[in-house]
Amino acid sequence: MSNTMKFALLLTFVFVVNAQAQSPENPASPIPEPVAAPTARPTANPVQRPERDTTRRRPVVPADSPDVTERLRRFRENTIDPNAPQSTRVPVTQSASMRPARLYCPPHGPLEINIRRRDAGETLTLMLIDRNGEVLGMAKDVQGRVNLLEVISGIDSLERAAWLQLVQGDHPLGPPIVIQPIREPPPVRTTRATRPNSTATFTKIIGWGDRPLDADDPTIDAERKTWIAGDPPIISGFKTYTDMDVLIRTDHGEILVALAPDEAPSTAWNFRTLARDGFYDQSGFHRVVPADREGNPFVIQGGDPTLTGNGGPGFALPLEPSTLPHDYGVISMARTDEPHSAGSQFFFALGRAGTARLDGQYCSFGYAVSGSRAVDSIAATRIADITEGRPANIPVILTMQLVTAPARMPGIDRRQDRIKTTTKVGEVAPTAR
C-alpha cells in the first residue's frame, strides 16, 4: 500500500472518530407540547440577564426521608410547620420501584412500565387513581415489563390524566406515574365584553367546545346557537412520566407546588420543563397586587426572566379549559388579552374573593402545598408603582427544582393539602423584609 493511500485511510479514521465524539449521547430536551408557533421576544430589555443554557438539565431532588407522604400527613395533623424548608435527604430504600418505559406511547399500545423488584415479599399491586382518590382500575401480582393496556381495563378510554401507584400490601412504593391521554383540546368560545369601569373591552371566554361556562346566561345561550358541534376529541396516544412537584426557592422563603396535569396537561408540563431547565432561576415576582379595586386579595405574578413584564420563553401555549378554582395558593398562567398567549409568566391567587372572576378565563395548573408564609411575605412587599404593581424591591426567585411527588392513595384528594393564608390584606407577613 502506497504512502498516499495510508494517509487517506488515516484521515478517514480520524474524521469518523471525531464525528462520533461530537455526537450527543442524549437528544436535546423536548419542546413542551403542544405549543403554538414561536413568537418574537421583546427587543426592549434594559435588565436582560445573560442567556441561559436551555439544554442544561437540573438535578431532581430525591424523595424525602421521611418521604413527602409522611410530611403531608403530619402537615394535616398540624404537627409541623408547613413553611419549613424542603431539604434534600437520603432516598428511602424501597423493596420495589417502577418507571415508565418511554415518554410517549402510541394510542393502541404498548403502554409499558418497568417494575423492578429487589426481594421477595408481598404481592405487588398497581392502582390507577384519579384526582379524587377514586380507584379506576387495578392489576395484581405485577413485575418486570408490564403493558398497562393488557392488565388494567378502561385505561384506553381515560378522559384526563390519572396517577398509577405501585403498592405492596398496604404500603405505597415511591412516587406515582402520571398516565396522560393526549387529546386535542376543545375550541375556546369568546366574545367581546366591557370591563367594570366601562372604559375598555376585553376578550371574554364564554365556553369550551359546545359547553358554555354559564348555561343560564341568556346572551351566551343566544350565541351558542351559532356554535358548530364538533367531533369529540380524538386520542393520539399517551404520555407517561414520574409525578414531580416544583420547589420554588425565593428570598422570602420556599413554596412547594403540586401540578395538576389532570386539569391542564400541556400547561403543567410546560411549567415543569421550564423549571427543570433553570429558565426561572434568578427571575422574580415583578408584579405584586395584594388587593383589587374592591380591596379583596388578588395576585403575585412572576416568571418573566427580563423582570419587565414583557418577557417570555419565545412561544405561546394554547389555553386549556382548567376547572381548578382560583383559590388561595392556586398557580395559574398570566397572559395578554389574547387567550392563547401564555408562555412562562404565572401568578399565585391570594384569595377567593378577588380571584373567583378568573375561573375559566385563565388556566390554573397547580396549587401550593406548603409555603404560605413566603406567599404572604411576597404579597406584603412595598409597592413602588401602584398602577403597574411594581415592587420597590422585586422578590427574587433563586431557583426552581423538581421534587418527587408523594404517593397517591385511595380515598385521598391531595388538593386538601392546599396552603391557607397566614395574614389579612394589609398586614405584614412574619417574614416580610
Closest residue by Cα to residue 370 from 257, 250, 251, 252? 257
**Tens digits of per-residue pLDDT, 130-174?**
999 999 999 999 989 999 999 998 898 899 999 999 999 888 999
- Stretch 266-275: mean pLDDT, rounded? 97
Determine the pLDDT at residue 217. 84
Region 296-318: what's the mean pLDDT? 95
pLDDT of 274 > 80? The answer is: yes
Q: Which of 328, 209, 332, 351 is nearest to 268 (CA)?
A: 332
pLDDT at 260: 98
Closest CA to 336 of 319, 322, 350, 320: 319
State the span(s) of the chain assigned CATH 2.40.100.10. 244-417
Find the radius of gyration of the CA atoms of the chain.
24
In this predicted structure, what is the pLDDT of residue 93?
53
State the first-to-last Cα distance of the chain, in angstroms, to the nearest integer.
79
Q: What percent of the chain clears pLDDT 70, i.e. is strictly above it?
A: 76
Written out in words, the top-level CATH class of the domain with range 244-417 is: mainly beta
pLDDT at 214: 87
Start-end of CATH 2.60.40 domains in the chain = 94-183
Residue 101 corresponds to which cell in the numbers above?
418505559
**Contacts of residue 136, Cβ cutoff 8 Å, sequence gap at least 6:** 128, 129, 130, 152, 154, 155, 158, 162
At 367, which amino acid appears? Y
Task: Pull the grid cell for residue 106.
Answer: 402510541
**CATH fold label, 94-183:** Immunoglobulin-like (2.60.40)
Locate all alpha helices (DSSP H) within 214-351, ordered by sequence.
Answer: 218-224, 265-276
- Residue 22's pLDDT is 33
Whether pLDDT at 21 is above 50: no
More confident residue, 86 or 28: 86
**Cis omega (within 30 of 0) for bond into 110:** yes
Q: Which residues pair with 349 in a beta bridge?
A: 299
In this prediction the pTM is 0.77
Give the per-residue pLDDT at 37: 33
DSSP assignment of 201-219 equals EEEEEEEETTEES-TT-HH
Confidence of residue 35 (pLDDT cuts 50, 70, 90): very low
14 contacts 22 by C-beta, under 8 angstroms: no
Sign of CA pseudo-dihedral 235, 333, 401, 176: negative
Q: Are 113 and 101 in contact (CB under 8 A)?
A: yes
Residue 197 has pLDDT above 50, yes or no: yes
Q: What share of the chain is helix, strand, coil (3-state, %, to 5)?
A: 20, 30, 50
Strand extents, DSSP E, 141-268 = 144-147, 162-168, 171-183, 188-194, 201-208, 211-212, 235-242, 244-250, 253-259
Q: Is the pLDDT of residue 270 over 50?
A: yes
- The rounded mean pLDDT for the chain is 80
Residue 225 has pLDDT above 60, yes or no: yes
pLDDT in tens, 200-209: 788 999 998 8
d(CA 124, CA 142): 6
Neighbouring CB atoms inside 10 A of 385's CB total 10
Classify burial at 5, counting beta carbons within 10 Å of its beta carbon; exposed 0-12, middle 13-18, buried 19 or more.
exposed
CA distance 144 to 117: 8
Cα 348 from Cα 334, distance rounded (Å): 10
Which DSSP symbol is given to 231? Answer: P
The neighbouring-strand residues paired with 190 are: 205
